[in-house]
Structure 1
């Protein structure tokens, strides 16, 4: 999967495109909230980890 980040209307807002299959499989809706953890693995690769927050 190739990740595409799209710049929003504000200079510091980016939107991450999620494939439609993921949205259907995991039941993601517009009202879901996510937290983002940013780390680097042992090879220096950037790792983005999104976690759905239960309401």
Structure 2
């Protein structure tokens, strides 16, 4: 699979040399990574709270 870009960073919207395709794909991927991380953190937090509440009721 060919990488979209050789850069190690997300595309900068203010960079005039960044094409629309690179910019929009980069923004979409960045949003997807953030959403997965946020959902994982929320699920782990809920599981921890559930475990703590169930442990206290014993």
The alignment's TM-score, normalised by the length of structure 2, stands at 0.22
Between Structure 1 and Structure 2, the one with more strand by share is: 1
Between Structure 1 and Structure 2, the one with more helix by share is: 2
